[in-house]
Structure 1
Amino acid sequence: MASTGGGGASNQSVGGGGGSSHPPPPKILLAKPGLVTAGKFTRGGASADDDSVSIRSRLPSVGSLNLISDSWDFHTDRILPFLTDNTDFTVIGVIGPPGVGKSTIMNELYGFDGTSPGMLPPFAIQSEETRAMARHCSVGIEPRISAERIILLDTQPVFSPSVLAEMIRPDGSSTISVLSGESLSAELAHELMGIQLGVLLASICHIILVVSDGVHDINMWRLMLTVDLLKHGIPDPSSPTLSHSQTSSLGSEKESKDKIQEAGEGYMAAPVFVHTKLQDQDLSPHNCMQLKKALVQYFRSSSFKLTKYQNAAKDHHFSSVSLNNQSNNPDSTLPNLFLIPFKSKDDSPRAQYESFISTLWKLRDRVLSTSSPSFARTVSERDWLKNSAKIWELVKNSSIIAEYSRTLHSSGMFRR
């Protein structure tokens, strides 16, 4: 059964039997404790019910271990016990619309083996019931931490009708305060939530997975261009200005903002653009290369890191001939793009194309071997978390995002 115990990290410390000189192994965050209740697996019986109540009374409620909760607040105290002073860690975030397989991809990155009986996946996967009820699984940002010290951040879906339905009041206003000190319509607040999540992930992650549905959906491309436009002035978690931005009263407010903006300029998490649910015709070498070229053109002027053609030549979805012709130019670059086929019932490979499962394995290898940007300075896991909370406040108080919100409001696209 999935748990939050530290046993999964035992491969990092050997023989933790009794020497006081050896620190205890770090805890890993595998699943929300509130998901594990005895009542789900028993039928009737007073003793079973009593045990279930007793277990639930000792465990945090579902959602209590979210990095960002449904109230759009950042919670450091809940996650801090799972982090250490280790500086060798990787942060991977994911963002995308509902039902594209974000949680499935993150479970694969975690190394979860779904064939093991009795194991809960680290991230809840959309069930048939959830899909039929038009609900979403993830709320805010849900973190998991592997034994290899990979911090995985799963986000609630963007462009999600179910998220909008939960935050809209009868008068059309938002129940969630997205921008500090401003009252917004639910539709506008919902639009800004996706942007804020993208800005945060681009600021605090090493790698950000941008997942799209099918080959023709470019809504996530548009969102990430907006993120690139509005992120300026948000530093990375190693910025020394963060430790003084809220405690020091010296200097003017303008000077403080200028310092933060200077520290934040230049850092952007490495994006991996993932398109899921592709049909066989979408996976042909010609169509794959056309999508790649479109992505290059779309993000040509953005701040997102692009990879060399030579690195992309290992991509099993593209013919070596077409890539070799273009890799002769050492200055040419490609976005990191990965294509995942539609999952068939028996998950068997079709013709020359690979199966859904084998493609997920290769995506895991690609992501974990991606050359990602480093933070400006060395930072520990704990300091990363504390500074990420301060970055979230900067995002919610960003004058650039607030001005963008006013522009959207005045455009008439969103009701008051």
Structure 2
Amino acid sequence: MSDSGQSPAPGVRRRWPREKEGDGSGDRRDAAEEPGAALPKTPIILAKPPAERQAKAAAGPAPPPPGPAPPIVLMKARGEEGRGGAGAGEGAAIAPPREREGPRPTQPVYQLHGRGLPPPGAMDPVAGQARLAAPEKMKSSIKLVDEQMNWCDSAIEFLLDQTDVLVVGVLGLQGTGKSTLMSLLAANQPEEDPRAFVFRPQSPELKERGGSQTCGIDFFITQERVVFLDTQPILSPSILDHLINNDRKLPPEYSLPHTYVEMQSLQIAAFLFTVCHVVLLVQDWFTDLGLYRFLQTAEMVKPSTPSPSHEPSGAAGPEEPSEYYPHLVFVQNRARPEAFCPRRLQQMHGVLDRLMAHSHLKYKGALSMLDCGLFPGLPEGFLPTEVNLFLLPPMEAEAEDAPPRTAPGGGPLFPLLPPYRGHGTFGTLLARLRGRVLAAARAQLSHTLLTERNWFHYAARIWDGVKKSSALAEYSRLLG
């Protein structure tokens, strides 16, 4: 029978010839049309009893199961946004291409939050602030060296890992106003109650007994990262009296109390000459020759600057490292009005220059009061050698002030101006001194740049070396 134009007989299936060998569409056959194909199975539905379904409905809907972990999302580069994926539907809308705004990254960007890593905003803000916050502001001084001349470690809590630090120390005899001056330079004002000063000054009762307030070395650091070191009075008679009257046991290397007091003073002075940028020598009268002999002795027993290498000094090379010496400032506290006379100033500078002629300390040319504009009428060559000398009038109300000048009619000549004293007020001169001290050059104390914390460890090592110094031990043996 011909195939043209005629339909097959009922019940007979027409088979079409295969046109392409490689096309798999011709091999598709319905399993139900095969002659030996099995009939589809009847589905079996499992259900709970009606009573159990009613109890479950009364209990309420079950909580939703926990969702799966967030997937890892692979984001395409911006340049591939217009391309259609292989699995995209035919009806999906294709976004128009954007204008090219510039070079775009070709690498894909991955979101790693699905792997359990916290996002940047999930960090604890309290912990982050604690890492970046500055140390707690100091309200009073603490001990760096106690009265038994032992090192204290409590100051390390207030120090940072930064190198811009200035260290200022003070030396002076008993009752010259060292603690008061250091408090005013650090954080306090003259009109405040002295009991609120960061370095506690002598109380009236202590002055009557002839005692000293500071024992050892006190430490204070300001928010401007300036370290102030207040020390006990050098060659103090009150400390000597305390040793004798209280029968305090001396260290075995010292046989006499006055030798022990002098050695304590030399240890403190040699320590300040090694770890400070500026050392203030406070006096309340001009001048004590024994004090300058003491400075020369302290400079002689000053420990040398540690070498940057562990090699012996002979193997380091022909250029040996230079020794470090701080700036020394002579502060004349409670100066009388006649001390501010230009001729008297010239005499004081000449005496100090001759006394310190053989010293390596930087005692001139950096922190003089003549550089502050307080004496504008003096000629340029008024002082052949300018020493670091600064005068301060008494802080208390001056009862010996000259009465204000009066006009011929009896009234004040300049009613709006304060009476002329021959010098500036205590607050004015103190502000000039503070500005000069804080502007001092912050030279390297050792051959390596020190942070605040490194300075603390360096100072602890220097103090231990001073206490074990062979030069000081030999000097003590000569005194005893």
The TM-score with structure 2 as length reference comes to 0.63
2:388 maps to what in 1? 336
Q: Which amino acid letter does the alignment assign opposite residue 144 of structure 1?
A: F
Deviation at 1:359, TM superposition (A): 2.0
Distance 1:371 1:352, change over 3 A: same
One of 161, 172, 181 as aligned partner of 1:96: 172
Aligned pairs for 1:121-200 within 5 A: 121-168=197-244, 175-177=249-251, 182-200=253-271
**Aligned-partner Cα distance in 1 for 2:367–2:217:** 34
How far off is 1:358 after superposition? Answer: 2.4
Partner of 2:138: 29
In the alignment, the residues of structure 2 paired with residue 288 and residue 164 of structure 1 have an alpha-carbon distance, to the nearest angstrom, of 35
State the shift of 1:164 in Å. Answer: 1.2
For the residues of structure 1 that align with 2:144 and 2:348, how far apart are their CA atoms? 34
Greater shift after overlay, 310-319 or 127-136? 310-319
- Note the C-alpha offset of 1:225: 1.7
Q: Which amino acid aligns with 1:139?
A: C
Equivalent of 1:297 in 346, 351, 354: 354
Q: CA deviation at 1:406?
A: 2.0
Instruction: Please give the secondary structure, in 2, of the residue aligned with 1:175.
Output: coil
Structure-1 residue corresponding to 2:441? 371
Match of 1:39 in 2: none
Shift of 1:156: 0.6
- Tell me the amino acid that sits aligned with residue 297 of structure 2: T
Paired AA for residue 26 in structure 1: P
Residue type at the aligned position of 1:210: L
1:11-410 matches, cutoff 5 A: 18=126, 20=128, 23-32=132-141, 65-75=142-152, 77-113=153-189, 115=191, 120-168=196-244, 175-177=249-251, 182-231=253-302, 233-235=303-305, 240=308, 265-308=322-365, 313-315=370-372, 320-322=377-379, 324-325=380-381, 333-346=385-398, 351-375=421-445, 376-409=447-480
- Structure 2 vs 1, CA of residues 362 and 230 (structure 1 numbering), >3 Å: closer, same or farther? same
Structure 2 CA distance for partners of 1:175 and 1:264, relative to 1, 3 Å: farther
Give the whole-Å Cα distance in 1 for the aligned partners of 2:187 and 2:436: 14
- Quote the offset at 1:217 in angstroms: 2.8
CA contact (8 A) 2:178 2:230 kept: yes
Distance 1:357 1:281 in 2: 19
Cα deviation, residue 104, structure 1: 1.4
- Alpha-carbon contact 1:208-1:272 (below 8 Å) kept: yes
Question: Aligned partners of 1:118, 1:406: CA distance in 2, in Å?
Answer: 41
Quick check: 2:313–2:320 contact (8 Å CA) kept in 1? no
* Distance in structure 1 (CA, Å) of the matches to 2:246 and 2:314: 38
2-side partners of 1:395 and 1:117: how far apart?
Answer: 37
Query: Within 2, Cα distance between the matches of 1:81 and 1:202?
Result: 24
Is 1:175–1:186's contact at 8 Å kept on the other side of the alignment? no
TM-score by length of 1: 0.72
Q: Provide closer, same or farther for how the CA distance between residues 134 and 282 of structure 1 changes in structure 2, counting only shifts above 3 A.
A: same
For structure 2, the residue ranges without an aligned partner over 5 or more in a row are: 1-124, 402-418
Does the C-alpha gap of structure 1 residues 30 and 258 become closer, same or farther in structure 2, counting only changes over 3 Å?
Answer: farther
SS in 2 for 1:79: helix
Look up the equivalent residue of 1:20 and give its one-letter code.
G
Provide closer, same or farther for how the CA distance between residues 81 and 340 of structure 1 changes in structure 2, counting only shifts above 3 A: same
DSSP-derived class of the 1:67 partner:
strand
**Contact 1:199/1:230 (CA < 8 Å) preserved in 2?**
yes
Cα shift at 1:326:
5.3
Separation in 1, partners of 2:224, 2:175: 28
1:195–1:318 distance in 2 versus 1, CA, 3 Å:
farther
**Counterpart residue number, 1:55:** none
> 2:18 maps to which residue?
none
For residues 170 and 330 of structure 2, the distance between their equivalents in structure 1, rounded to whole angstroms, comes to 10
Q: CA, structure 1 residues 313+275, in 2 after alignment: closer, same or farther (shift >3 Å)? A: closer
Task: Report if aligned partners of 1:213, 1:275 keep a CA contact under 8 Å in 2.
Answer: yes
Q: CA RMSD in A?
A: 3.2
Write the mapping of 1:5-16 to structure 2, written as runs, cut at 5 A: none
Distance in 2 (alpha carbons) for counterparts of 1:399 and 1:119: 41
Secondary structure of the corresponding residue to residue 295 of structure 1:
helix
Aligned counterparts of 1:351 and 1:358: Cα–Cα separation in 2:
13
Q: Distance in 1 between matches of 2:281 and 2:382?
A: 25
In the alignment, the residues of structure 1 paired with residue 194 and residue 382 of structure 2 have an alpha-carbon distance, to the nearest angstrom, of: 49
2:372 and 2:432 in contact (8 A); partners too: no
User: Distance between the aligned counterparts of 1:387 and 1:110, measured in 2?
Assistant: 23
Residues 1:407 and 1:258: Cα distance change in structure 2 (over 3 Å): farther
Larger RCO: Structure 1 or Structure 2 (Cα < 8 Å, ≥ 6 residues apart)? 1
Structure with greater helix percent: 1
1:44-100, CA deviations, whole angstroms, 9 ceiling, x for partnerless residues? xxxxxxxxxxxxxxxxxxxxx31111111111x211111121211111000111111
For 1:118 and 1:97, the matched residues in 2 are separated by: 20
Q: Which moved more, 1:198-207 or 1:346-355?
A: 346-355
Moved beyond 6 Å, runs of 4+: 256-259
2:10: which partner in 1?
none
Contact 1:214 1:278 in 2 (8 A): yes
2:451 counterpart letter in structure 1: S
User: Which residue of structure 2 aligns with residue 53 of structure 1?
Assistant: none
Task: Tell me which amino acid in the other structure corresponds to 1:334.
Answer: E
Assess, with a 3 A threshold, how the Cα gap between structure 1 residues 115 and 278 changes in structure 2: closer, same or farther.
closer
